[in-house]
């Protein structure tokens, strides 16, 4: 699993439920328009090709909705979206890499950009959500249809031993249907036959250029904050035992989140995957996750990345396995600070 363009297939619009295409736009728009002027619609962002002069600085302070119901997108690309100097840049991608050609269900992603290119803090990201519905894959086939995600830009690659802190600050929720204003239902989605997760996804390699590729990097490092449904198993969970257990404290609340580490080779690629899986669903976290990476580096295990490796990419999102009806992942607050 990754958040790049894993297999570049057709960029045509998917055949998706009308409830997704019409129902998603309004809740996200209404949830944030109270803080700005009336929003406008930016479309799906497309893909950047060739040189660009950068998006022109807007003359107002509107909130603008960008929407992508395509298999892949590049929302936030600075060739078309303005980011104020000093503001951390992010891109957003529905990344429906696991779709079959005859798929009759799908996903829509919505992002609310401030068109003046500034947010509450330099590291703050625009709010976003995805609404999706997929049928289970046939037995024995890959059941992950997408990894809808937000990705940091212009920070990596960085040599792992030069990183001191990797501070994340986020809140998210999952609900049945399209309305993100309702209370979170993440703890009950499994009883509704929903299979999904919420995770940070990173890639590392001894070569700085290779570390930026989710296909070519030697290592994938994940931090799961939620595993929902019977299908949501990390790599190694069914083939190995827990390597170790480690807790992180939320810097705001002091609450500890406990993670189990699993490590194994990816069943279909050459990558070695290390996953820290939270023992409980964690919808809010404000703190440094670098100690989880530091443990891996200091473990002395020759199968793991060491301090000479480069961290090439960092993203966070939700893997969409299957759901019998629309579900919505909503992330109103997200920020990452790398020191």
Confidence (pLDDT) at 15: 33
State the pLDDT confidence band at 52, using cuts at 50, 70 and 90.
very low
Q: How far apart are CA 138 and CA 323, in angstroms?
A: 14
- C-alpha–C-alpha distance, residues 225 and 229, integer Å: 14
The pLDDT value recorded for residue 47 is 43
Q: Tell me, what's the pLDDT at 16?
A: 37
In angstroms, rounded to a whole number, what is the distance separating the alpha carbons of residues 262 and 244?
8
pLDDT at position 149 = 98
For the cut 80, the answer to whether the pLDDT of residue 73 exceeds it is yes
Q: Which of 94-103, 108-117, 310-319 has the lowest mean pLDDT?
A: 94-103
What's the pLDDT score for residue 206?
98
Any domain includes 321: yes
- For residues 72 and 41, the model is more confident at 72
- Whether 10 maps to a domain, the answer reads no
What CA–CA distance (Å, rounded) separates 85 from 193? 45
The band of 18, judged by pLDDT with boundaries at 50, 70 and 90, is: very low
Exposure string of 312-332, with b = 16+ CB inside 10 Å and e = fewer, is bbbbbbbbbbbbeebbbbbbb
- Identify the band that residue 35 occupies on the pLDDT scale cut at 50, 70 and 90: very low
How far apart are the C-alpha atoms of 204 and 221, rounded to whole Å?
A: 8
Domain that holds residue 238: 18-338
Beta bridge partners of 93: 149
On the question of pLDDT at 170 being above 90, the answer is yes
Q: Evaluate whether residue 200 is within a structural domain.
A: yes
Instruction: Give the C-alpha distances (Å, rounded to integers) separating 49 from 4, 56, 77, 152, 214.
Output: 16, 17, 11, 20, 20
The count of domains in the chain is 1
pLDDT of residue 193: 98
What are the angstrom distances between the C-alpha of 259 and each of 135, 281, 321? 30, 11, 22
DSSP 8-state code for residue 22: H
Residue 2 domain flag: no
The bridge status of strand 272-278 relative to strand 90-93 is: unpaired
**3-state class (DSSP) for residue 271:** coil
By C-alpha distance, which of 101, 110, 30, 29 is closest to 67? 110
Q: Cis peptide before 157, with omega less than 30 degrees from 0?
A: yes
Please state the rounded mean pLDDT for residues 61-77.
94
Assess whether pLDDT exceeds 60 at residue 291: yes
pLDDT in tens, 113-157: 999 999 999 999 999 999 999 999 888 888 999 999 999 999 999
Q: Strand pairing of 327-338 and 37-43? A: unpaired
Q: Which residues contact 65 (CB under 8 A, 6 or more apart)?
A: 25, 28, 29, 39, 40, 41, 42, 110, 111, 112, 113
Query: Does the residue 12 lie in any domain?
Result: no
Asked if pLDDT for residue 10 goes beyond 70, the answer is no
Whichever domain contains 277, its CATH number is 2.60.120.180
In tens, the pLDDT along 226-248 reads 999 999 999 999 999 999 999 99
Mean pLDDT of the chain: 87
Residue 186's nearest CA partner among 225, 145, 152 is 225
Task: Dump pLDDT digits (tens) for 176-229.
Answer: 999 999 999 999 999 999 999 999 999 999 999 999 999 999 999 999 999 999
The token pair at 256 is 């500890």
Read off the pLDDT of each residue in 250-274 and give the average, rounded to a whole number. Answer: 96
Per-residue model confidence (pLDDT) at position 100: 72
59 pLDDT band (50/70/90 cuts)? low
CB 44 within 8 A of CB 14: no
Report yes or no: 110 and 74 within 8 Å, Cβ to Cβ: no
Asked whether residue 160 is assigned to any structural domain, the reply reads: yes
């Amino acid at each position: 699993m990754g958040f790049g363009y894993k297999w570049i297939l057709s960029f045509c619009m998917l055949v998706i439920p009308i409830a997704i295409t019409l129902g998603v736009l309004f809740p996200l728009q209404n949830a944030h328009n109270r803080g700005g002027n009336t929003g406008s619609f930016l479309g799906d962002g497309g893909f950047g090709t060739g040189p660009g002069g950068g998006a022109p600085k807007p003359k107002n302070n509107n909130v603008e909705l960008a929407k992508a119901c395509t298999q892949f997108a590049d929302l936030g690309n600075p060739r078309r979206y303005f980011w104020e100097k000093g503001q951390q840049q992010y891109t957003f991608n529905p990344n429906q890499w696991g779709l079959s050609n005859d798929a009759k269900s799908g996903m829509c992603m919505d992002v609310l950009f401030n068109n003046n290119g500034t947010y509450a803090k330099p590291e703050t990201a625009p709010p976003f959500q995805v609404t999706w519905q997929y049928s289970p894959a046939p037995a024995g086939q890959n059941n992950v249809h997408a990894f809808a995600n937000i990705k940091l830009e212009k920070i990596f690659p960085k040599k792992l031993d030069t990183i001191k802190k990797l501070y994340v600050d986020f809140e998210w929720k999952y609900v049945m249907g399209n309305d993100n204003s309702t209370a979170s239902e993440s703890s009950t989605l499994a009883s509704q036959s929903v299979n999904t997760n919420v995770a940070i996804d990173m890639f590392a390699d001894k070569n700085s250029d290779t570390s930026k590729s989710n296909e070519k990097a030697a290592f994938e490092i994940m931090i799961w904050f939620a595993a929902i449904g019977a299908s949501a198993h990390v790599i190694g969970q069914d083939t190995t035992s827990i390597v170790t257990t480690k807790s992180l404290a939320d810097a705001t609340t002091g609450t500890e989140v406990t993670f189990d580490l699993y490590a194994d080779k990816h069943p279909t690629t050459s990558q070695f995957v290390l996953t820290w899986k939270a023992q409980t669903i964690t919808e809010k976290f404000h703190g440094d996750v670098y100690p989880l990476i530091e443990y891996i580096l200091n473990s002395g295990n020759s199968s793991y990345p060491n301090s000479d490796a480069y961290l090439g990419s960092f993203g966070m999102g939700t893997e969409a396995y299957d759901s019998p009806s629309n579900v919505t992942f909503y992330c109103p607050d997200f920020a990452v600070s790398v020191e």
